Amino acid sequence: MVFTDDKISNFMVKRSLKLLSDSFESKNKSIEAAKILDPCIGGASFDIALFQALEQEYIKSYKLSEFLKTNFIGIDIEASAIELAKENLKKVGISYADNLNLKCKDYLTDFNEQGFDLIIGNPPYIGEKGNRAVFSKIRATEFGKKYYEKGMDYFYFFIEKSLEILNEDGILTMITPAYWTRADSASKLREAIRARASFVDVVDFGELRAFKDAVGHHSLIFFLQKKKTAEFSYYLINETKNDLGEILENILYGINMSPEPEISISKENHSDFIKSCVSSEFCMNYSPYFNFISKKTQGIFEKIKKHTKSTLGELASINQGIVSGADRVTNKNLSALKEQIDNEANINVKIGDGIFVLNEKEASEYINVCSCLVSFYKNSDITAYSIKKPKYYLFYSTSKMSDADKEKVIKHLYKFEVILNKRRESMLGKLPYYHLQWPRRKEIFTGEKIVSPQRALYPSFAYSDDELYASADVYYITDIKENLFFILGYLNSSFTDFYLRHVGKKKGKYLELYQRPLSEMPVIDISEDKKLEIAHRAQKITNSKICDSLKISQLKLEIDNIIWNELYNL
């Protein structure tokens, strides 16, 4: 179980109580009438912070136990969590913990109370993969049917349920992974929020880890209010070695606030965090995702929208690379193989052996004798404007290969037959074991194209008119109905970086350059003359040698300037 750090729960509690008390005060109501819920109490980290903050600032000590017994509910699905919560509460002096309303229940399926003014917690993060039973229970209910979406996480339900049972003007505060604000699998969740609530504050941890052991985990604290508001504050914490508790205190009390930069994501900013004022309408409605873009920067996005006739997806086809279904032998492959063959001594297969993807040594006997053995590129071979020499080979094995090739492919693959027959299409009898699972259309790899790795620190698009075969982590932009080199220059520009970093998809610092973000990338209306100027430079960069790096940087800068000038002059 992941428990929330005290510094984080203290911050979330203090900010939520301030919002709650402001809201009650504006209606001349006493906070003593507020109903509060923690739907997943765990070890009671929020509740300890909550009870202490209530006593310090809002409720007289002699009234606290009465208030908590009648106005607070804590829930957890695990009886052991409820016991632990009671124990922890007693340790901090809540001697009446046994008399509190702490219930062992499933919040999503067995809890029907309504009318809360504050719901606060750290919900469980559980993906559906490997946890079907957890999901089938909730999916069998009306509520589950209403909100289930493919690829979702279990914590989405906690937000949706909380919005349903919250009073009007009530506050919902949670810490969750950050990705749902932009995930395709969270469109119902975003719609539920859009329809009912507004953000009051959002604290984005950026690259800073909220949970020590959760590597690659990006966290977000959000404060939602069940009403419509015009704007909210978005805090982006920078990568810093400073104490998290201090940073959160500074956010809470508005200390050490650096001025909001003109462009909301600025690499030059060294303060602990950046605060921006964001329009609720823009955040929720500029695109299908939630966009935390400051009001200062918002104008440029409105301009981009106004001056875009086509997206990249309308001007070209965007294709994913090859899925072989078994590139090289994995641990899992090996156990499948051992399971089926009794005499293990006969298995001459090791982890890492090439199945469809071969290294130089493995490929040596087939080079020049098997025409379906092709050079195979890794996504890291592709950078902006250039492509490295590949180190691997692939059997481009499909129903169209010659009999002579088929014979050689089988010679290499027969010992992997058991592994290859475990692929879904092979199990269904649709695919011979020696064929690639998804070879795609061959022309994608052989014709003129722009390629990009699916994830990169900067826009990384390169031109190729050679054969270029790669895995599904490479995207191929083909059939381009525009000047190809203009598109190449445009995609590699600082404008594309700016656009994707703000409203495209990101995983931490990495841009996600796959199907949907690429398809949705606007191609702004640039005059024909300027397009040619960009194309000319992009072509020159493509044909340059690496040693021309000064010249290349100059040309890249010129492309950036043309695009930004065009945009400002529109």
Ligand X SMILES: C[S@@+](CC[C@H](N)C(=O)[O-])C[C@H]1O[C@@H](n2cnc3c(N)ncnc32)[C@H](O)[C@@H]1O
Number of helices (H), then strands (E), belonging to the chain: the values are 23, 24
Closest approach of ligand X to the CB of residue 38, in Å: 6
**Is 43 near ligand X (CB under 6 A)?**
yes
Packing angle of the helix pair 549-569, 528-543 (nearest 10 deg): 160
Q: Residue 524 carries which DSSP code?
A: E
Residues 11-40 that bind ligand X (CB under 6 A): 39-40
**Is 107 near ligand X (CB under 6 A)?**
yes
**Is 3 near ligand X (CB under 6 A)?**
yes
**Is 439 near ligand X (CB under 6 A)?**
no
Nearer to ligand X, 75 or 555 (CB): 75
Closest approach of ligand X to the CB of residue 134, in Å: 8
CB 150 within 8 A of CB 185: yes
CA atoms within 13 A on the CB side of 390: 19
Residues 111-140 that bind ligand X (CB under 6 A): 121-122, 124
Q: Kindly state the number of chain residues that form the binding site for ligand X, as judged by CB under 6 A.
A: 22
Please select the residue that binds ligand X; options are 36, 37, 75, 318, rule is CB under 6 A: 75
**Is 159 near ligand X (CB under 6 A)?**
no
Triad 58, 64, 68: Cα angle to 5°: 105
**Is 1 near ligand X (CB under 6 A)?**
yes
How far is the C-alpha of 75 from the C-alpha of 40, rounded, in Å?
5
How far is the C-alpha of 167 from the C-alpha of 227, rounded, in Å?
10
Both structure tokens of 486: 């203009």
Three-class DSSP labels, 265-324: CCCCCCCCEEEEEEEHHHHHHCCCCCCCCCHHHHHHHHHHHHCEEEEHHHHCEEEECEEC
How far is the C-alpha of 492 from the C-alpha of 396, rounded, in Å?
30
Stretch that binds ligand X, among 71-79, 176-184, 316-324, 501-509 (CB under 6 A): 71-79
Please select the residue that binds ligand X; options are 77, 183, 274, 394, rule is CB under 6 A: 77
Nearer to ligand X, 1 or 255 (CB): 1
Stretch that binds ligand X, among 74-82, 180-188, 416-424, 498-506 (CB under 6 A): 74-82
How far is the C-alpha of 428 from the C-alpha of 317, rounded, in Å?
30
Stretch that binds ligand X, among 25-33, 57-65, 106-114, 553-561 (CB under 6 A): 106-114
Stretch that binds ligand X, among 73-81, 164-172, 336-344, 543-551 (CB under 6 A): 73-81
**Is 181 near ligand X (CB under 6 A)?**
no
Closest approach of ligand X to the CB of residue 73, in Å: 12
CB 232 within 8 A of CB 280: yes
Nearer to ligand X, 38 or 520 (CB): 38
Q: Is 419 exposed, middle or buried (0-12, 13-18, 19+ CB in 10 A)?
A: buried
Stretch that binds ligand X, among 77-85, 302-310, 441-449, 543-551 (CB under 6 A): 77-85
Nearer to ligand X, 84 or 444 (CB): 84
How far is the C-alpha of 58 from the C-alpha of 50, rounded, in Å?
11
Helices (H), 27-96: 45-53, 61-71, 79-91
**Is 4 near ligand X (CB under 6 A)?**
yes
Stretch that binds ligand X, among 105-113, 287-295, 340-348, 424-432 (CB under 6 A): 105-113
**Is 45 near ligand X (CB under 6 A)?**
yes
Which residues have CB under 8 Å from 90's CB, separation 6+?
97
Closest approach of ligand X to the CB of residue 40, in Å: 3
Nearer to ligand X, 177 or 517 (CB): 177
Please select the residue that binds ligand X; options are 36, 81, 172, 431, rule is CB under 6 A: 81
Please select the residue that binds ligand X; options are 37, 59, 76, 274, rule is CB under 6 A: 76
Nearer to ligand X, 76 or 520 (CB): 76
Closest approach of ligand X to the CB of residue 43, in Å: 5
Residue nearest to ligand X (CB): 42
Nearer to ligand X, 121 or 170 (CB): 121
Closest approach of ligand X to the CB of residue 286, in Å: 31
Triad 462, 468, 470: Cα angle to 5°: 95
How far is the C-alpha of 204 from the C-alpha of 219, rounded, in Å?
6
Please select the residue that binds ligand X; options are 6, 57, 106, 262, rule is CB under 6 A: 106
How far is the C-alpha of 512 from the C-alpha of 179, rounded, in Å?
12
How far is the C-alpha of 528 from the C-alpha of 466, rounded, in Å?
28
How far is the C-alpha of 76 from the C-alpha of 73, rounded, in Å?
10
Helix-strand-coil split of the chain, %, nearest 5: 45, 20, 35
CB 126 within 8 A of CB 136: no
Closest approach of ligand X to the CB of residue 53, in Å: 16
Nearer to ligand X, 13 or 81 (CB): 81
Closest approach of ligand X to the CB of residue 104, in Å: 9
Interacting residues with ligand X (CB under 6 A): 1-4, 39-43, 45-46, 75-78, 81, 106-108, 121-122, 124
